[in-house]
Amino acid sequence: MASSSSSSRPRTWRYSVFTSFHGPDVRKTFLSHLRKQFSCNGISMFDDQGIERGQIIKPELTQAIGESRISIVVLSEKYASSRWCLDELVEIFKSKEDLGQIVMAVFYGVDPSDVRKQTGVFGTVFNETCAHKTEEERRTWSQALTDVGNIAGEHFFNWYVCFSLVCLNLRFYFSL
């Protein structure tokens, strides 16, 4: 947990929200609507569109994660197919531990239990991603998935309910 002292200044966050997601699953559907909803409500959200994709997490993403008050992890069936997503998730939990960042989870078409235990289709995808990776990488990613799977998150049933619940939770966190 992040330490604080009465003499230190309150932390200033560059972004209200950082989202971690598997682009092909949610970028043009769920995420575009979430981005629009946040924009209409004055909630700043990091936009990764200008970052070149690669094999390792880019410094810009690591920095954006650390500069965001809240991370929302949108877990979809193929989230674990991306090393990029898994590395982001590890960084998010480092920021939670080191900076006290709030982490929220949205389970978009996946069961939290499958994420937590890496079972079902989600587990199959994760195992394929881990093939030819070190045991340390697999263990680190698995722990991050277990941690995010243990978060009481929102289940995606319909657009309106999910957006309403996410926005309600954000309003609560920003009122603290």
> pLDDT 10s digit of each residue in the chain, 176 long?
444 444 455 678 899 899 999 988 888 878 887 888 788 878 888 887 666 666 566 788 899 999 999 999 999 999 999 998 999 999 999 999 999 999 989 898 899 999 999 999 999 999 999 999 999 999 999 999 999 999 977 666 544 555 555 665 666 555 54
Residue among 52, 88, 91, 128 flagged as catalytic: 88
Give the structural domain span for 74: 15-175
Model pTM score: 0.82
**88 labelled catalytic:** yes
Cα-Cα-Cα-Cα dihedral sign, residues 81, 92, 71, 48: negative
H or E element at residue 68: strand 68-75
Cα-Cα-Cα-Cα dihedral sign, residues 96, 172, 80, 63: negative
The CATH number of whichever domain residue 39 belongs to comes to 3.40.50.10140
**Could you give the number of structural domains in the chain?**
1
Domain membership of residue 8 (yes or no) is no
Q: Three-state SS for 49?
A: coil
Type of residue found at 33: H
Contact 140, 88 (CB under 8 A): no
